[in-house]
Amino acid sequence: MSTTLSSLDSAIDQVAKGMVAAPDDPEMVARLVSALPERSSRLGWLIPQCAALGAIVITAVVWSTRERPASPALLSSTQIAAAPALPGAITPREPGTAFRTLPSEHSELSEASEPLRLGSDFERSLPALEIADTLIVSDVTPSELPASPALELTPIGVPDLPLTAESFPPR
């Protein structure tokens, strides 16, 4: 039995070795050498990486130095304290007094400084329209109208149409 197993093992080894045995090819080395490309430099493989890194850096620099829209300046507390005082208290006017409100850039601030009052908001209304003068229409006669040249009409001449010998076919 050991002889048989040994023979079988030997057969397995020989077959396995034959499965990975490559046929001789003396020209293969020459083909391999002729197919070799040009060797790049030692750091040649770094070129694509450096190019990508450079592109990222340039993009970052351009992005960081781009022009930004001016943001509204924030006033510090000292600047706010030094700001010109708002108009004082507004004296109430009598009802019916016509006045004109001037547009103000700080209308919101002015209105905010006014104390809130309940009631009619007549002070904020537009000024009353003045009464227009009476429209007087006087009678006008034709003789008072300005003279105009007489209307003249040129007579229109219609020439006689030539007669033809054509006759309409009877239906």
Partner 1 sequence: MAPREETAVDPEVLRLVALARTGDRTAFGRLIERHLTAARRVALAAVGQPSDADEAVQEASVAAWRRLDALNDPAAFRGWFLRIVWRKAIDRRRSVRSWFDRFSSTTSDDRPMEFPAADPAPDALLLSRELAAAITQVVRSLPRKLRDPFLLAASGDHRYEDIAVMLGTPLGTVKWRIAEARRVIRLKLDHMGYGDPR
Q: Does 49 bind partner 1 (CB under 8 A)?
A: no
Are 99 and 93 spatial neighbours (Cβ–Cβ below 8 Å)? yes
| Residue in this structure with the two tokens 């007549």, named with its chain if needed | 122
Q: Does 15 bind partner 1 (CB under 8 A)?
A: yes
Q: Does 111 bind partner 1 (CB under 8 A)?
A: no
Q: Does 50 bind partner 1 (CB under 8 A)?
A: no
Q: Does 48 bind partner 1 (CB under 8 A)?
A: no
**Looking at beta carbons only, is 17 or 68 nearer to partner 1?**
17
Choices 14-22, 47-55, 87-95, 152-160; region in contact with partner 1 by CB under 8 A: 14-22
Q: Does 27 bind partner 1 (CB under 8 A)?
A: no
Q: Which amino acid is at 44?
A: G
Are 110 and 104 spatial neighbours (Cβ–Cβ below 8 Å)? yes
Q: Does 30 bind partner 1 (CB under 8 A)?
A: yes
Q: Does 61 bind partner 1 (CB under 8 A)?
A: no
**Looking at beta carbons only, is 22 or 135 nearer to partner 1?**
22
How far apart are the C-alpha atoms of 122 and 141, rounded to whole Å?
Answer: 50
> And the tokens for 167?
């006759």
Q: Does 14 bind partner 1 (CB under 8 A)?
A: yes
The binder of partner 1 chosen from 3, 65, 77, 164 (CB under 8 A): 3
| Residue in this structure with the two tokens 């000292």, named with its chain if needed | 78
Q: How far is CA 43 from CA 30, 50, 56, 76, 84, in A?
A: 28, 10, 20, 56, 68
**Looking at beta carbons only, is 15 or 89 nearer to partner 1?**
15
Q: Which amino acid is at 64?
A: S
How far apart are the C-alpha atoms of 102 and 86, rounded to whole Å?
Answer: 16
Q: Return residues touching partner 1 (CB under 8 A).
A: 1, 3-23, 25, 28-33, 35-37, 39-40, 42
